[in-house]
Amino acid sequence: MRTPNALGGATGTISAERDETQQATGRRAVLSWALYDLANTVFQFSVVSYTLPLWVKDEGGSDAAFGIALSVGAGLMFLASPVIGAVSDQVRRRMPFLIASTLLCCACTALLGTFGLTTTLVIFVLANFAFQAGSVFYDTLLPTVSTDANRGRVSGLGVGIGYLGSFIALGTAFAVLALDDDAKPLVFRITALLFLVFALPCFLWVRERPRPDAAPIGRATMRRAIGEVRHTVARARRYPDLPRFLAGRVFYSDASNTLVGFMGIYATEELGFSDAQVQVVLGVGILGALVGGLAWGRIVDRIGPKATLNRVLGLWAVVLVLTAAIAYLDLPRDLFWIVAPLAGVALGGTGTSDRPLMIRLSPPRYLGQFYGLYGMAGRFAAIIGPLLWALIVDGLDLGRPAAVLSLLVMIAIGYAILRPVNDARRVWLTDEAMPV
């Protein structure tokens, strides 16, 4: 157990900061880690946010069909996240699991659009599951390439460089589809290749410190990991700010992920933008995310991750109000050119601030397990968000602007839950710190 000290942390014999400063934080390792953010952002924007929704529309699919596919993949990840996180705490290194999940995602992405609508959506579910699983292993590598003093900047660098991948993805899609609008399957294959190429530096040059108490991978490891899952939630209750943060994350992730997933459809179907105009709008949004990630990272290191996240949520509220108002008040659709970069800045700030906050609130020894809960929170949001959107748009026939306002409610709830969270730096007991 921990006892509070004057810094809002805990008394103990090993501090997280001292443990982290011994990690490899060289520039090559940091840049290689950040390039993986670029790699998976290529998938996120090329497949999830742009090309696949348009392909589904071309094939006669509905918002609900795409939304259900997103939710099923998120549901599978919701169930698997605790086990994945617990496994990552049992093994010597997390990198082999990151490599395996990346290769599976790339293989499935290359097959998208090869078959009919239903089969492609099933393949997408598997690709999205592998993508999300890789994110758990990737995020837990952040302490390997950073310290508490520079974690905001390193996280922001990952987000900022990551969104360069979105420019690459959208530029590739624009070039291919300008020649042949029916060539979306080719875009998927190029996306798979880009994902793999940009992930390679992380595989090669991010060096983890192996866990000295780890066991060989096998059935015993899996049994121990599954056994640990039963204790993870109970263990998290020892750190009251952590469950509150995770609960709040469900709501703000619901809003941000859902808006990103349906932004292309909203712009084309609600505002009347052409496919080419949507590409440019998303490009402007990505530029905002790139700048936002770098800027928010410095803010995290200056005022802390919690205070930064509060400001990010305020910006999301502005974005959602403006998005709905353009349709409800029949405002000029050109205002969406202002909304898009603001949404990008908010999106960049979300990952930049909440990853360091998660690490600040989690004891290093159980980081993988608690990142499993972090993944569960995000996946639960990814289940509810698309289903809520589909219910409002297709079920209740209230329209997409009403769905946007439902996301505003989610932001407000998330902010209210997060208000009491204390992100003061912790000092961990020996049994909570990473074994040396």
User: The domain that contains 322 carries what CATH number?
Assistant: 1.20.1250.20
- With cut-offs at 50, 70 and 90, classify the pLDDT of residue 266: confident
Q: Considering the domain boundaries, does residue 213 fall inside one?
A: no
Q: Considering the domain boundaries, does residue 313 fall inside one?
A: yes
How many domains are contained in the chain?
1
Q: Considering the domain boundaries, does residue 433 fall inside one?
A: no
For residue range 75-134, list pLDDT tens digits in order: 787 778 777 777 766 666 788 889 999 999 999 999 999 999 999 999 999 999 999 889
Q: Considering the domain boundaries, does residue 432 fall inside one?
A: no
For residue range 299-308, list pLDDT tens digits in order: 999 999 999 9
Three-class DSSP labels, the chain:
CCCCCCCCCCCCCCCHHHHHHCCCCCHHHHHHHHHHHHHHHHHHHHHHHHHHHHHHHHCCCCHHHHHHHHHHHHHHHHHHHHHHHHHHHHCCCCHHHHHHHHHHHHHHHHHCCCCCHHHHHHHHHHHHHHHHHHHHHHHCCHHHHCCCCCHHHHHHHHHHHHHHHHHHHHHHHHHHHHHCCCCHHHHHHHHHHHHHHHHHHHHHHCCCCCCCCCCCCCHHHHHHHHHHHHHHHHHHCCCCHHHHHHHHHHHHHHHHHHHHHHHHHHHHHHCCCCHHHHHHHHHHHHHHHHHHHHHHHHHHHHHCHHHHHHHHHHHHHHHHHHHHHHHHCCCCHHHHHHHHHHHHHHHHHHHHHHHHHHHHHCCHHHHHHHHHHHHHHHHHHHHHHHHHHHHHHHHCCCCHHHHHHHHHHHHHHHHHHHCCCCCCCCCCCCCCCCCC
Q: Considering the domain boundaries, does residue 40 fall inside one?
A: yes
Provide mean pLDDT across the span 42-69.
85
Mean pLDDT score of the chain? 83
Residue 34 is predicted with a pLDDT of 92
Q: Considering the domain boundaries, does residue 2 fall inside one?
A: no
Range of the domain at 254: 16-208+218-418
- 15 pLDDT above the threshold of 70: no
- 10 pLDDT above the threshold of 80: no
| More confident position, 84 or 182 | 182
Q: Considering the domain boundaries, does residue 10 fall inside one?
A: no
Residue 219 is predicted with a pLDDT of 64
